[in-house]
Structure 1
Amino acid sequence: MTTIRTEIVIDALPEQVWAALTGFGSYGAWNPCVRRIDGNAGVNQILHIAIRFGWLPPISFRARIDCFSRDTIFGWRASFLFGFLEGRHWFELHPLDAGRTLFVHCETFSGVLASPFLALMSGLVRQSYEAMNRALETIVEEK
């Protein structure tokens, strides 16, 4: 198992960050990485997601929300390539002083194809998650 972890401090309350993070209908307008999410935010809900890593074409998949606590944590689990690669993707919101939020964006990869996938793609995945973090910061701080 390998985890890619990124983070950014956003000058907004966790509630404001949460609203943008769970406002799936607007993802296409601001999110360069997670291009689309169809479904409802809540425990055990099924999501249809389109994600894009840098210059690669979008990847569409189904995922199940496996952690969800309003204004705190939201994440899903998905399997790829007949279960040979699994991703557990999540976002954490930690309140900071002065109305700011530490936004943590992670994914843990497991399965027999996790090591080869990450050997080829970890840099691109990290860059894509960091681009999403910066875009989230911009969209939230503009409101």
Structure 2
Amino acid sequence: MNSIRTEVIVDAPPEQVWAVLTGLDRYCEWNPCIRSVDGEGGPDQTLLITIRFAWLPPIRFKAQLDRFRQNEILGWRAVFLAGLFIGHHWFELHPLDSGSSTRFVHCETFDGLLSTPIFVVLSGLFRQGYTAMNRALKTRVEQK
């Protein structure tokens, strides 16, 4: 399975990170990678997500929230090309320093018949986008 894992330390408790992360309707204000999310953030909800990576055109897709534990984990599963490419995307929040800061972990795994060729071609762009999102999230949370 092909995967990407990035992380950043945010100087705020998980509850503050969670508030920004689950403010889906405000992603357009700060998130350079996930440009919009339409839908309610809750267990088993369907989201309509628009992403943008560097030179690629925006990509809009449906995703099913499949990981949701308040202040701990938020994630979704999206199926592309009739199941030939499947993405499992999630965010983990780990309290540090007795809860005064948070390790924000940003991951995605890809499977399906086309996952390896797509991963080989686009994993660098994905990693850059996720790293940029992590920095933007850190800035947004720490400014509040």
Q: TM-score, normalised by structure 1?
A: 0.98
Q: What secondary structure is seen at the aligned counterpart in 2 of 1:112?
A: coil
Task: Give per-residue Cα distances to partners, 1:91-135, cap 9 Å, x unaligned.
Answer: 000000060100000000000100000110011100000000000
Whole-angstrom distance in 1 between the partners of 2:93 and 2:55: 28
Aligned residue number for residue 20 of structure 2: 20
In the other structure, the counterpart of 2:2 is 2
Alpha-carbon displacement from aligned partner over 1:18-53 (angstroms, at most 9, x marks no partner): 000000111001000000001111111000000111
Q: Which amino acid aligns with 1:111?
A: G
1:104 aligns with 105
Partner of 1:29: 29
How much does 1:55 deviate?
Answer: 2.0
In 2, Cα distance between equivalents of 1:116 and 1:123: 13
| Letter of the structure 1 residue corresponding to residue 77 of structure 2 | R
TM-score (structure 2 length as normaliser): 0.97
Give the % identical residues: 59
Please give the alpha-carbon distance, in whole angstroms, between the structure 2 residues aligned to 1:32 and 1:45.
23
Distance of 2:56 and 2:117 partners within structure 1 = 17
Q: Number of paired residues? A: 143
Q: What's the Cα RMSD here? A: 0.7
Give deviations 1:78-98, integer Å, cap 9, x for gaps. 001111000000000000006
Q: What aligned pairs does 1:1-143 form with structure 2 within 5 A after superposition?
A: 1-97=1-97, 99-143=100-144
Return the alpha-carbon distance in structure 1 between the equivalents of residues 134 and 54 of structure 2: 14
Counterpart-to-counterpart distance in 2, 1:24 and 1:41: 7
| Distance in 1 (alpha carbons) for counterparts of 2:136 and 2:54 | 14
SS at match of 2:140: helix
